[in-house]
A and B are shown apart, each in its own frame.
Chain A
Amino acid sequence: MKNTVFKIIAILHILNLISCQDVVKVDLETARERLVIEALINWENGTTGNEQTIKLTKTSSFYNNQIIPATGANMVIKNLNTQQEFDFTETQDGIYQTSNFIPEINTTYELEVGYNNAVYKATSTLLDAPVIQGVTQSITNGLSVEDPEVNVIFQDFENQTDWYRIVFNYYKNNEDEQADYEDNVFKDDFIEGNSVTLFYENEELQANDRIEIKMYKISERYFNFITKLQQQADTDFGPFALPPINVKGNIINTTKADNYPYGYFSLNKINTATYLFQ
């Protein structure tokens, strides 16, 4: 909710209304190369969660858009309750997979990556997902009273502070290609214990469009991480822009601390709902 407030301020800013934008050439320096670990263990409700993928890449210069895979790493996730280990093997350049992972709610796991003579480690706890109670569609809700939206109703976990993530994937005409993606994280600050409606609004929504909704409960630290990522990726402008930050995740380099990696290790159960717009 707070993020919304801030976005609104940005939208509202009068600069938007009278300013002009053009592309300019700016020479940039390139900082040292770092490992990027995308270790997102997602357990779709109703599946076994055995198949999991972790991606390793490297940072590149800002004007070079090629994704550079990090190959030849060793990788294992360990259940710290049972000490059971799950090995990940490289199936493509920088893509590491397993098919025997066993997800358990509220269990803490440890990730260990050996790469380039350094060992990277992180621990994280697998969190349960909130239940999606229903999905509806409307026109007059949402930010604009004219644009259509899909509403998602879910129940906040009671009597505790929670952090959530909801992802909307938008597929036009029920096709496979994703037309839009919206990722929101929020805290249950003003909605504690309520049944809450969230919405995805898009003026292009029409009959037979498919919306896929993924609902997660996340840790406070992961919430902070995603918030910072969004702040970085969301290039707000003007005098009200927030200062850019160096986003560090929860993975450390145990061999050489200042050669820290980017990325995050998170384990989540996910409730997914799919809605076909009428």
Chain B
Amino acid sequence: MKIIKKGILSILLLLANFIIAQNFTISGKISDQANGEVLFGAEIATSDYKKGTTTNEYGFYSLTLPKGKHTLIISYLGYISKIKKIDLTKNITLNISIKEEINTLDEVVVSGKELKIRQKLKKPQMSVTKLNVKTIKQAPVVFGEVDILKTITLLPGVTTNGEGSSGFNVRGGASDQNLVLLDEATIYNTSHLFGFFSVFNADAIKDINLYKGGIPAKYGGRVASVLDVRQKDGNNKEFHINGGIGLISSRLMIEGPIKKDKASFLLAGRASYVNGFLKAAKKDNRVGFYDLNSKISYEINDNNKLFLSGYFGQDSFKLNNFFDSSYGNNTFNLRWNHLFNPKLFSNLSFIYSKYNYNLTFNTLDFKWDSGIIDTNIKYDLKYSFNQKYKLNFGASFTNYNFNPGEIKPTSETSAINEYILDKKYAYEPAIYAELEHKISNKLNLRYGIRFNSFYRIGKQTLNTYQDDLAVVYNPNLDIYERANPIGEISYKKGETIASFTGLEPRFSLAYQVNDNTSVKASYQKINQYLHLISNTNSPTPLDVWTPSGKYIKPQISNQYAIGFFKNIKNEMYTLEIESYYKDVQNRIDYIDGADLIANNHLETEILAGKSRAYGLEILLRKNKGKFTGWFSYTVSKSEQKITGRTAIETGINNGNWYNTPYDRTHDLSITGSYKLNKKWRFGANFIFQTGRPANFPSGQYQFDNYTVPVFVTRNAERLPAYHHLDISATLNSRKNEDRKWKSEWVFGVYNLYGRKNAASITFARNEDTNLNEAIRTSIFGIMPAITYNFKF
């Protein structure tokens, strides 16, 4: 570690030599004029576009220019560009606020050219999708409930398991391979109501960035993607309330200044009332969720700003007095932005995140608790040397505490013994440095390295097995079986059980072919030390996270991507085409009949193999005019292979590649929004996907009262294609213009033509005819929805 620190220092010194005298730095924040929210990714550049930069996630920018007069253009998607003239004779702080272009969609948009997209062409970052909440709110959704996760699945390379399933899959990756961050805190379960809703309340969210590849070195720990969701800071100018009343849930958000222009707060809550809606909610069943987003921002002075934010979400279910269950994420974090000088920005974060799952069996007299807690300290810095070099560097330390499960009797007469699965402990230090390097006006690079390690520590007692094999192969029967332990090793508190290190190079390149065209390429290596133990097609709240250790190795992934980016008709349209190849080592799968629940020795259920995914993604967006939207198409392959560990072992599926459950050959979505007039706006989505891999029986037999279907291959068949069309209409009251209270009605129909999409196809014997038949389970028919939104 010391060596690397020295290395960074010498890079710093080396680069310092390049700084030419007679340059001065302009720095500051770019924010929304109306509410003071700082903007992430806003652009500031000289009028010839040759020199420019973008704001970081805290709205901060630093731009070094030669002494003299400059005309700066400040722009941000959906905002009116601003022109500022300056005479640079010393370092200056320039805080800029820009105005959202609200009702200008049908007018000619600002004269200033859309610098935004040009800068984007130059930036080496590829495979990233940025969505603002406004876009998300315009897409029609089921039940009329705005859902960030549903919207990102309309983008290329992102899929879900269909309706009513949790998690999402990026570029053929599993859902536990996504790092989901809410204000930098890890969210371990992204869904409410088993996937019908996401945990993100759009009212409280400012923007989201999804990195599918070329992931910056400051992120690590998950191999497929980073979904970075940022909460609003809260309006520091005026007090506002907004909310909505929908069919399933209602929401309310309050924000306002604590001290004008300096300190603000935000509080947003949602609660569901599904019970009345569920047709089967007879007896004493209930199901519901709530969540609460909160944030306080305080600008101490120009150089220091504090943020305190928290998220508290809970789902609960009750079934016939028999059974109570709840699960939820809780996060809390404190961040401190500090500006050392106009070129060096820093952020220190303290983050706490917890996911827990509880189950109480009232009549069986026992309860079950499981969960994961992580605490993380992180220090991120950005040094903007000059136009040529920017250095991002930092360090992070994460401590993990896993509770795989505790069973406790709830009465003295319970026949259940108290049983506590071994708690697991680990910590993960990481450091990184990454340089943004402008080689010429046309060629931009970003390269860096992330070095991390992972220590699995005691206190824990582990079983030992012959030859360290926790799963043994029985060659006579051709099956994998649990090995019998041959002994135990006890590790003391804090003693290292296993440790891993990972050196992760990251590299991105952008070459601008001409004003409107660029090509990009990237490579990334990422280690993932946590695994979600889940044997089902889509994660369940009960699934436990488990750390790498003596028997489970970290997942290690390489991804290579290339892309082509083009602006058409003066940025009326943008076209993005990307292709990627990704491989993952040590991806786990489970032995036949794996027993994953309340199992203290998961190693006896697991086989490790590898996975790979590759594909081509096309995204064509229309950015301007009355009609906006995008067309997205992905063709891809995602597969997995578990070969035998020795020559006689057959592995899974005879050691051949087989489809992962999230393999989709074709994935197409078309999303459009049409603004008819000030009163009406219409939206539509169309989605088409290859059906998900499934297993169909290829025979049957009778054995001791069982009719047993025969399955030979794995994931070789598919469900029928999945598609639906959704529409929405938003009515803005005319009266809104003259009053403080503004309201809108959103009407929507999900699955307009009533496609019965198969959530699954199962096979069973019809009790009347005594014949076997295939049964399709579909979730949503035509689903109309209405929502009332207000703000004042």
Q: Residues on A close to B: CB < 8 A?
A: 1-2, 4-6, 8-9, 11-26, 28-31, 33-34, 36, 38, 40, 57-63, 65, 67, 140-145, 181, 183, 189-192, 194-197, 220-221, 224, 227-233, 235-250, 252, 257, 260, 262-264
Q: Are B538 and A240 in contact (CB under 8 A)?
A: yes
Q: Which residues of A contact B705 (CB under 8 A)?
A: 181, 183
Who on chain B is nearest to A29 by CB?
Answer: B698
Q: Are B775 and A21 in contact (CB under 8 A)?
A: yes
Q: Are A194 and B415 in contact (CB under 8 A)?
A: yes
* 7 A-B residue pairings within 8 Å (CB atoms): A20-B779, A31-B699, A141-B363, A239-B165, A240-B538, A244-B709, A252-B476
Interface of B is mostly: loop
Q: Are A248 and B478 in contact (CB under 8 A)?
A: yes
Give A13 to B315 CA distance when docked, in angstroms: 13
**CB 8 Å contact bits of B84-112 with A (1 = contact, 0 = none):** 00000000000000000000000000000
Q: Are B407 and A190 in contact (CB under 8 A)?
A: yes
Q: Which residues of B contact A242 (CB under 8 A)?
A: 535-536
Q: Chain B: interface residue count, which band?
A: 35 or more
12 new A-B contacts, CB < 8 A, other than A2-B595, A195-B415, are A20-B781, A22-B775, A31-B710, A36-B703, A62-B763, A65-B765, A140-B363, A190-B417, A237-B775, A238-B759, A249-B477, A262-B708
Q: Which residues of A contact B775 (CB under 8 A)?
A: 21-24, 235, 237
Chain A-chain B contacts (Cβ-Cβ < 8 Å), number: 251
Give A20 to B320 CA distance when docked, in angstroms: 22
Q: Are B773 and A243 in contact (CB under 8 A)?
A: no
Who on chain A is nearest to B697 by CB?
Answer: A62
Q: Which residues of A contact B279 (CB under 8 A)?
A: 17-18
B549 interface contact, C-beta 8 A: no
- A96 vs chain B, min Cβ distance (A): 15
Residue of B481, B540, B706, B773 near A9 (CB, 8 A) is B540
If A15-B759, A19-B759, A229-B703 touch, whether A191 touches B417 (CB-CB below 8 Å) is: yes
- Which 5 pairs between the two chains have the least Cβ-Cβ distance? A239-B538, A239-B165, A31-B698, A244-B711, A245-B592
- B694 vs chain A, min Cβ distance (A): 9
**CB 8 Å contact bits of B691-730 with A (1 = contact, 0 = none):** 0000111111111111111111011000000000000000
Q: Are B702 and A67 in contact (CB under 8 A)?
A: yes
Q: Are A23 and B712 in contact (CB under 8 A)?
A: no
If A26-B774, A143-B363 touch, whether A190 touches B707 (CB-CB below 8 Å) is: no
Q: Which residues of A contact B287 (CB under 8 A)?
A: 14, 17
Chain B CB within 10 A, most for which of A8, A13, A142, A230: A8
Give A245 to B712 CA distance when docked, in angstroms: 7
Q: Which residues 393-414 of B have a CB within 8 angstroms of A?
A: 407
B304 interface contact, C-beta 8 A: no
B427 interface contact, C-beta 8 A: no
Residue of A18, A36, A228, A250 near B779 (CB, 8 A) is A18
Q: Are A59 and B710 in contact (CB under 8 A)?
A: yes
- B698 vs chain A, min Cβ distance (A): 4
Give A11 to B287 CA distance when docked, in angstroms: 13
Give A153 to B343 CA distance when docked, in angstroms: 75
Give A197 to B368 CA distance when docked, in angstroms: 20
Q: Which residues 94-144 of B have a CB within 8 angstroms of A?
A: none
Q: Which residues of A contact B317 (CB under 8 A)?
A: 12
Give A17 to B288 CA distance when docked, in angstroms: 13
Residue of B319, B711, B761 near A245 (CB, 8 A) is B711
Give A24 to B193 CA distance when docked, in angstroms: 28
Give A276 to B323 CA distance when docked, in angstroms: 29
Chain A CB within 10 A, most for which of B701, B709, B775, B781: B701
Q: Are A57 and B407 in contact (CB under 8 A)?
A: no
Who on chain B is nearest to A240 by CB?
Answer: B536
**CB 8 Å contact bits of B759-792 with A (1 = contact, 0 = none):** 1111111100011111111111100000000000
Give A267 to B540 CA distance when docked, in angstroms: 38
Q: Are B695 and A57 in contact (CB under 8 A)?
A: no
Q: Are A240 and B537 in contact (CB under 8 A)?
A: yes
Q: Are A237 and B707 in contact (CB under 8 A)?
A: no
B53 interface contact, C-beta 8 A: no
Who on chain A is nearest to B161 by CB?
Answer: A239
- A204 vs chain B, min Cβ distance (A): 16
Q: Which residues of A contact B195 (CB under 8 A)?
A: 239
B651 interface contact, C-beta 8 A: no
Q: Are A62 and B772 in contact (CB under 8 A)?
A: yes
Give A144 to B282 CA distance when docked, in angstroms: 14
Give A67 to B699 CA distance when docked, in angstroms: 12
Q: Are A257 and B478 in contact (CB under 8 A)?
A: yes
B19 interface contact, C-beta 8 A: no
- B479 vs chain A, min Cβ distance (A): 5
Q: Are A5 and B598 in contact (CB under 8 A)?
A: yes
- A33 vs chain B, min Cβ distance (A): 8
Q: Which residues of A contact B760 (CB under 8 A)?
A: 237-239, 241
Who on chain B is nearest to A197 by CB?
Answer: B415
- B175 vs chain A, min Cβ distance (A): 11
Q: Are A232 and B319 in contact (CB under 8 A)?
A: no
B11 interface contact, C-beta 8 A: no
Chain A CB within 10 A, most for which of B416, B597, B697: B697
Chain A CB within 10 A, most for which of B321, B540, B710: B710
Q: Which residues 298-347 of B have a CB within 8 angstroms of A?
A: 317, 319-323, 325
Q: Are B714 and A243 in contact (CB under 8 A)?
A: yes
Give A242 to B776 CA distance when docked, in angstroms: 17
Q: Are B598 and A2 in contact (CB under 8 A)?
A: yes
Chain A CB within 10 A, most for which of B598, B699, B759: B699
Q: Are B322 and A143 in contact (CB under 8 A)?
A: yes
Give A65 to B767 CA distance when docked, in angstroms: 13
B196 interface contact, C-beta 8 A: yes
If A233-B706, A246-B710, A257-B478 touch, whether A239 touches B698 (CB-CB below 8 Å) is: no
Q: Are A60 and B359 in contact (CB under 8 A)?
A: no
Q: Are B536 and A248 in contact (CB under 8 A)?
A: no
B262 interface contact, C-beta 8 A: no
Q: Which residues of B contact A59 (CB under 8 A)?
A: 699-701, 710
Q: Are A239 and B536 in contact (CB under 8 A)?
A: yes
Q: Which residues of A contact B696 (CB under 8 A)?
A: 26, 28
If A5-B598, A21-B776, A252-B476 touch, whether A243 touches B703 (CB-CB below 8 Å) is: no
Q: Which residues of A contact B538 (CB under 8 A)?
A: 239-240
Q: Which residues of B contact A262 (CB under 8 A)?
A: 701, 703, 708, 710
If A15-B777, A62-B763, A245-B592 touch, whether A263 touches B323 (CB-CB below 8 Å) is: no
- A63 vs chain B, min Cβ distance (A): 5
B278 interface contact, C-beta 8 A: yes
Give A63 to B700 CA distance when docked, in angstroms: 8
Give A228 to B706 CA distance when docked, in angstroms: 11
Give A230 to B708 CA distance when docked, in angstroms: 8
Q: Which residues of B contact A230 (CB under 8 A)?
A: 706
Residue of B320, B695, B776 near A243 (CB, 8 A) is B695
Residue of A26, A65, A192 near B770 (CB, 8 A) is A65
Who on chain A is nearest to B194 by CB?
Answer: A14
Q: Are A228 and B593 in contact (CB under 8 A)?
A: yes
Q: Which residues of A contact B407 (CB under 8 A)?
A: 190
Q: Which residues of A contact B759 (CB under 8 A)?
A: 15, 19, 237-239
Q: Are B417 and A28 in contact (CB under 8 A)?
A: no
Who on chain B is nearest to A260 by CB?
Answer: B478
Who on chain B is nearest to A169 by CB?
Answer: B705
Q: Are B416 and A24 in contact (CB under 8 A)?
A: no
Give A262 to B758 CA distance when docked, in angstroms: 31
Q: Which residues of B contact A252 (CB under 8 A)?
A: 476-477
Q: Are A248 and B542 in contact (CB under 8 A)?
A: no
Residue of B325, B368, B778 near A12 (CB, 8 A) is B325
**CB 8 Å contact bits of B181-219 with A (1 = contact, 0 = none):** 000000000000111100000000000000000000000
- B543 vs chain A, min Cβ distance (A): 10
Q: Which residues of A contact B368 (CB under 8 A)?
A: 5
- B296 vs chain A, min Cβ distance (A): 35
Residue of B162, B702, B706, B763 near A239 (CB, 8 A) is B162
Q: Which residues of A contact B710 (CB under 8 A)?
A: 31, 34, 59, 62, 246, 262
- A79 vs chain B, min Cβ distance (A): 21
Q: Which residues of B contact A229 (CB under 8 A)?
A: 703, 706, 708
